Amino acid sequence: MTAPTTPAAASAAPVVRVAGLHKAFGEREVLTGIDLDVRQGEVVCVIGPSGSGKSTLLRCVNLLEQPTGGTVEVLGVDVTDPDVDIDQVRTHVGMVFQQFNLFANMTVLENCTVAQRQVLKRSRSEAERIARANLERVGLADRADAHPSQLSGGQQQRVAIARALSMDPQLMLFDEPTSALDPELVGDVLAVMRDLADAGMTMIVVTHEMAFARDVGDRVVFMDGGVIVEDGPADQVIGAPREARTRTFLQRVL
Ligand code: ADP
Ligand code: MG
């Protein structure tokens, strides 16, 4: 007998495994029992109304918020274990926010090298080589010496993506990465994310861009009121939702 080597077997262990996740802020329960597995190479788009708990879910995955119940495993590590080395886990998880959070006093290149040097202990030349490759990937190779304030919002968000990629993440989390952008700048950022998905990156993307979710998402998860109401293939959830609450939401946003 040889060991199974099919892609299905190779990807059997999920990159993210969320089970029975609860999160309360004081008395207020914001997540009330979330189960979500994300496999290697999968793109999961999370949709749902404002306040439904989408950001809190993402923030629990890399422990920016501490869950109040349930478990969250990332790359096989239970991040809710009090003894976990969360910085070690976070090294492998890239996060891109609505607000780009670039360092205003640094150049684009420095923004993309500082964590590589401080966290991964890469040499300056190595970090710069990797940063330039990722800036090229997001179409900003020629802006390495600019400061963030000299860039459009869409360019700044692409720098934020290049910065995250420069850490060689095994998982990328996006929280409404295009919501703060002028409409004409959204497409360039979505194109970069689509390329990443095509290259096999494992991604969880909170988004209001339904066309993106449908085209690029392998799965779409609809959240409402702190629970997952519907989770299925992107085409099904957006094109033929099973749940009345999903239909009502989609009618409002489409
Ligand atoms: P979404 O991203 O879907 O809009 P959030 O996860 O940001 O939703 O928020 C879900 C709920 O949790 C909201 O009612 C929000 O007010 C509440 N919430 C989020 N963060 C905090 C916090 N740090 N303290 C108290 N309440 C919070
Ligand atoms: Mg949010």
- CB of 226 closer than 6 angstroms to any ligand 1 atom: no
**Nearest ligand to the C-alpha atom of residue 53:** 1
Cα–Cα distance, 27 to 244 (Å, whole number): 29
Mean pLDDT, residues 54-60 taken together: 97
> Nearest C-alpha to atom 5 of ligand 1 is from which residue?
53
pLDDT exceeds 60 at position 57: yes
ipTM: 0.98
User: Once rounded to an integer, what is the mean pLDDT over residues 184-208?
Assistant: 97
pLDDT digits (tens, 9 = 90+) for 102-147: 999 999 999 999 999 999 999 999 999 999 999 999 999 999 999 9
Asked if residue 176 has pLDDT above 70, the reply is yes
Nearest CA to ligand 1 atom 14: 51
Identify the CA nearest to 175 among candidates 88, 74, 61, 69.
61
Query: What is the percent of the chain with per-residue pLDDT over 90, rounded to a whole number?
Result: 92
4: pLDDT strictly greater than 60:
no
Which residue owns the Cα nearest ligand 1 atom 24? Answer: 25
- Going by pLDDT thresholds of 50, 70 and 90, the confidence category of residue 217 is very high
Ligand number with the minimum distance to the CA of 98: 2
Confidence of residue 254 (pLDDT cuts 50, 70, 90): confident
Check pocket membership of 55 for ligand 1, CB cut-off 6 A. Answer: yes
Q: Would you say residue 165 has pLDDT above 50? A: yes
pLDDT per position as a tens digit, 7-45: 444 556 799 999 999 999 999 999 999 999 999 999 999
Question: Which one-letter amino acid corresponds to residue 25?
Answer: F
Shortest-distance Cα residue to atom 19 of ligand 1: 56
Q: Which two tokens stand for residue 21?
A: 């996740």
Average pLDDT of every residue of the chain: 94
pLDDT at site 209: 96
Distance CA 244, CA 128 (A): 50
Q: Does the beta carbon of 80 sit less than 6 angstroms from any atom of ligand 1?
A: no
CA dist 128 and 131 (Å) reads 5
* Cα–Cα distance measured from residue 43 to residue 52, given in angstroms and rounded to the nearest whole number: 20
Statement: residue 3 has pLDDT above 80? no
Task: Answer yes or no: are the C-beta atoms of 67 and 21 closer than 8 Å.
Answer: yes
Least confident of 162-166, 167-171, 250-254: 250-254
pLDDT at 12: 62
Q: What is the pTM of this model?
A: 0.94
Distances (CA, A) of 206 to 16, 50, 88, 144, 150: 15, 11, 24, 28, 27
Q: What is the three-state SS of the chain?
A: CCCCCCHHHHCCCCCEEEEEEEEEECCEEEEEEEEEEECCCCEEEEECCCCCCHHHHHHHHCCCCCCCEEEEEECCEECCCCCCCHHHHHCCEEEECCCCCCCCCCCHHHHHHHHHHHCCCCCHHHHHHHHHHHHHHCCCHHHCCCCHHHCCHHHHHHHHHHHHHCCCCCEEEEECCCCCCCHHHHHHHHHHHHHHHHCCCCEEEECCCHHHHHHHCCEEEEEECCEEEEEEEHHHHHHCCCCHHHHHHHHHHC
The answer, yes or no, to whether any atom of ligand 1 lies below 6 A from the CB of 56, is yes
